[in-house]
């Protein structure tokens, strides 16, 4: 019947059908063109390409026709989908035009409702109208796929990997999912194909066809050839099912997905900078940076742009004042500056505020500088949890817009997964959570994948980066293998931290340079050392320099020079050289601090008696900062209104100058 219907068409009509079916260079001869079309119609690759273009209404109509053994009329189709015949007829005309069905007109021609629409037998056999209610389409098995494929249909190169000709499908199927076979199959991947497969893996094992096309285009991969080959080699299965539309996706078979969880791919990408090999544990560094940023704002000031955003120059200046922390756990956050993360956290402690375009410190910030790091860590963690459950409003610079606050369920999920696997690659953790929390959730719709993926990834990224910043994770770069750190085990499981550093943990030179071996130091001692010493370099050991500025910073961070000297005495075999000891003492004395307060104003009176009368009204109310003379007071800016009211009661004339 298909040949008969094609024979009725003019050559120009056949060429239009060929264009719809994606035939790039159709032959000019009509007979050859018909033969090519018939061959193309039964090719699963081209059939999927046409089916995915159908609208939801066209899919609904076509599925009704395919699922009924009886031939349906226009009227019967209309009743089944509950739509007016005139609207259904328009869609049937499209399906007929692209040769998915043919029409038998009613001879009486009184009404079109008796016209019959029939799917070609070739498509009845090939087109699958299954849905995917429980995610079964995402759990394709290599074993089952190979066993159900005719040996003659195996790709010759894939057949060679399976051991060559002469075996039964079941024997091939048993070998196809073995680790040795998977390794050989993966070795056939080009760089671009590896990137495509890796993207599908981090998506939880699937990739929508249009997203795959974008990657193939970027990697200059031939689309048809790539999809056919990856499908034939059981690496990415090209499948479809009905979810309003014919949804076409590429799926990693479950055996390969499980193999990649243990042996993930790390494709080389020219658009991504390769990370150096190193291991990072942040310890209390991020907590110290909270304190250092307070000093930065106090010493340097922080003014926002006209749009009330941080200036690029200020972000760079602030980084120079903080301990360097690499925020490269997830590439999309690698360009963030620490100040963007820290300001919302300082706001949780009510330490910063915005006055006009200036970020200002609240008066009690010096108490915060003296807080012990372990206790501060728990307080910070709890404040973030509390804030995450609230609707946050306020000045944009104090809102966690670029790195949302984490929630406890995701923290627990990530830590349990990392601990259960005795460490995980970040990409594997992401893939496993996306699969379990998005793809395999009952009722999941592929059309919702992008939004669901973004939402889940954001939650995972937030939990992991905050744990990383707060020293709870140990990360091995460049492949980003994470384990729970000693500080993390202390925080989550109350495991004790080392309190004493080893003698010889620090090599102290008379010129103030020193080398610290982190494995030999307690986290608290290392925290104190970093408060007083300027970090020059870190490569397995720390290289520090003691300077006048660094020592004064240590004192301003709420520490005493005595505690620092005691630390150096405990961990350095050579002790402190006499000249260096003298310098440390001198540098820490009489800091040249100039205090500038914007939160106070000057109050002057014409006569000492007026001053005395006014003080009688306001003394003891925390209004007066300082009495300068018998006719001048310094009062807090926030109390100006109260002073004006007190003056009016005394029938004084107020002259307010702003």
Q: Are residues 151 and 98 in the same domain?
A: no
Q: Residue 7: inside a domain, yes or no?
A: yes
Of the candidates 475, 425, 462, 427, the residue with the CA atom closest to the CA atom of residue 283: 475
Q: Residue 349: inside a domain, yes or no?
A: yes
- 157-193 pLDDT tens trace: 999 999 998 888 899 999 999 999 999 999 999 999 9
Give the number of domains in the chain: 5
Q: Are residues 454 and 516 in the same domain?
A: no
C-beta of residue 362 within 8 angstroms of C-beta of residue 350: yes
- Find the domain containing 297 and state its range: 276-426+447-496
Of the candidates 210, 106, 198, the residue with the CA atom closest to the CA atom of residue 446: 210
Q: Residue 549: inside a domain, yes or no?
A: yes
Quote the Cα angle for 236-238-243, to 5°: 125
Chosen domain end from 101, 126, 151? 126
For the domain that residue 192 is a member of, what is the CATH number?
1.10.10
Quote the Cα angle for 10-13-19, to 5°: 145
For the domain that residue 627 is a member of, what is the CATH number?
3.30.70.1220
For position 273, what pLDDT does the model report?
64
Query: Bridge partners of 600?
Result: 636
Q: Are residues 89 and 198 in the same domain?
A: no
Q: Residue 270: inside a domain, yes or no?
A: no
- 608-640 pLDDT tens trace: 999 999 999 998 888 998 999 999 999 988 888
Chosen domain end from 233, 262, 291? 262
Q: Residue 431: inside a domain, yes or no?
A: no
Three-state SS annotation for 316-369: HHHHHHCCCCCCCCCHHHCCCCHHHHHHHHHHHCCCEEEECCEEEECCCHHHHH
Q: How many CA atoms lie within 13 A of 106 on its CB side?
A: 13
Q: Residue 561: inside a domain, yes or no?
A: yes
Chosen domain end from 229, 262, 295? 262
C-beta of residue 102 within 8 angstroms of C-beta of residue 96: yes
- 128-146 pLDDT tens trace: 999 998 889 999 999 999 9
For position 653, what pLDDT does the model report?
83
Q: Are residues 535 and 560 in the same domain?
A: yes
For position 272, what pLDDT does the model report?
58
Q: Are residues 361 and 492 in the same domain?
A: yes
Q: Are residues 95 and 166 in the same domain?
A: no
C-beta of residue 27 within 8 angstroms of C-beta of residue 36: yes
Q: What is the mean pLDDT of the chain?
A: 92
Strands 534-539 and 541-545: antiparallel
Q: Are residues 188 and 110 in the same domain?
A: no
CA distance 554 to 397: 28
Query: Bridge partners of 515?
Result: 507, 543
Q: Are residues 490 and 363 in the same domain?
A: yes
Residues of the chain with pLDDT under 50: none
**Statement: the pTM of the whole predicted model exceeds 0.75:** yes
Q: Are residues 326 and 467 in the same domain?
A: yes
Q: Residue 228: inside a domain, yes or no?
A: yes
Q: CB within 8 A of 445, min separation 6: which ones?
A: 243
- 356-368 pLDDT tens trace: 888 988 877 889 9
Q: Are residues 286 and 386 in the same domain?
A: yes
Q: Residue 521: inside a domain, yes or no?
A: yes
State the DSSP code for 581: H
| 3 state SS of 35 | helix
Q: Are residues 349 and 464 in the same domain?
A: yes
Q: Are residues 301 and 164 in the same domain?
A: no
């Amino acid at each position: 019947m298909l040949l008969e219907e094609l024979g009725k068409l003019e050559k120009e009509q056949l060429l239009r059908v060929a264009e719809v079916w994606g035939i790039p260079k159709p032959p000019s001869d009509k007979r050859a063109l018909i033969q090519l079309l018939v061959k193309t119609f039964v090719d699963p690759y081209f059939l999927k390409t046409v089916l995915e273009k159908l609208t939801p209404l066209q899919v609904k109509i076509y599925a009704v026709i395919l699922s009924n053994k009886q031939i349906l009329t226009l009227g019967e189709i209309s009743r089944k989908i509950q739509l007016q015949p005139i609207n259904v007829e328009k869609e049937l005309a499209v399906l007929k035009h692209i040769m998915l069905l043919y029409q038998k007109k009613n001879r009486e021609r009184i009404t079109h409702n008796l016209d019959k629409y029939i799917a070609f037998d070739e498509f009845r056999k090939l087109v699958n109208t299954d849905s995917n209610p429980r995610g079964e389409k995402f759990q394709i098995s290599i074993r089952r796929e190979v066993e159900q494929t005719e040996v003659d249909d195996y790709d010759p190169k894939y057949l060679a990997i399976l051991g060559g000709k002469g075996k039964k499908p079941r024997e091939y199927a048993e070998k196809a999912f073995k680790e040795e076979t998977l390794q050989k199959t993966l070795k056939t991947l080009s760089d671009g194909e590896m990137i495509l497969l890796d993207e599908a893996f981090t998506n939880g094992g699937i990739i929508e066809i249009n997203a795959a096309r974008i990657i193939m285009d970027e990697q200059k991969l031939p689309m048809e050839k790539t999809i056919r080959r990856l499908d034939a080699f059981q690496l990415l299965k090209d499948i479809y099912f009905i979810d309003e539309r014919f949804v076409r996706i590429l799926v990693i078979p479950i055996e390969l997905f499980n193999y990649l969880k243990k042996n993930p791919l790390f494709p080389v990408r020219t658009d991504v900078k390769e990370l150096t090999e190193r291991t990072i544990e942040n310890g209390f560094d991020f907590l110290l940076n909270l304190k250092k940023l307070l000093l930065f704002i106090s010493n340097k000031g922080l003014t926002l742009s006209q749009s009330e955003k941080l200036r690029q120059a200020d972000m760079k200046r602030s980084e120079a004042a903080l301990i360097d922390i690499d925020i490269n756990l997830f590439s999309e956050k690698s360009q963030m500056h620490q100040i963007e993360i820290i300001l919302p956290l300082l706001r949780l402690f009510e330490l910063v505020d915005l006055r006009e375009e200036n970020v200002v410190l609240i008066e009690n910030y010096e108490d915060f500088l003296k807080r012990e790091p372990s206790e501060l860590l728990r307080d910070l963690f709890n404040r973030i949890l509390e804030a995450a459950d609230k609707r946050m409003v306020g000045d944009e610079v104090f809102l966690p817009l670029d790195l949302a606050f984490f929630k406890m369920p995701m923290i627990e999920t990530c830590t349990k997964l990392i601990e259960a696997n005795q460490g995980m690659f970040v990409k594997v953790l992401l893939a496993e959570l996306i699969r379990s929390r998005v793809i395999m959730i009952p009722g999941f719709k592929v059309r919702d994948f992008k939004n669901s993926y973004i939402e889940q990834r954001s939650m995972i990224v937030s939990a992991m980066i905050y744990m990383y910043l707060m020293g709870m994770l140990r990360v091995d770069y460049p492949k980003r293998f994470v384990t729970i750190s000693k500080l993390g085990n202390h925080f989550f499981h109350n495991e004790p931290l080392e309190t004493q550093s080893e003698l010889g943990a620090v090599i102290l030179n008379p010129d103030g340079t020193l080398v610290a071996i982190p494995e030999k130091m307690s986290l608290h001692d290392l925290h104190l050392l970093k408060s007083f010493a300027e970090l020059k370099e870190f490569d397995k050991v720390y290289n520090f320099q003691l300077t006048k500025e660094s020592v004064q910073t240590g004192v301003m961070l709420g520490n005493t020079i005595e505690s620092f000297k005691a630390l150096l005495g405990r961990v350095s075999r050579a002790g402190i050289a006499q000249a260096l000891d003298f310098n440390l003492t001198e540098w820490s004395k009489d800091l040249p601090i100039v205090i500038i307060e914007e939160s106070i104003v000057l109050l002057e009176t014409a006569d000492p008696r007026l001053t005395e009368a006014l003080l009688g009204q306001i003394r003891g109310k925390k209004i007066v900062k300082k009495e300068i003379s018998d006719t001048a007071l310094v009062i807090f800016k926030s109390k100006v209104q109260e002073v004006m009211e007190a003056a009016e009661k005394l029938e004084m004339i107020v002259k307010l100058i702003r």
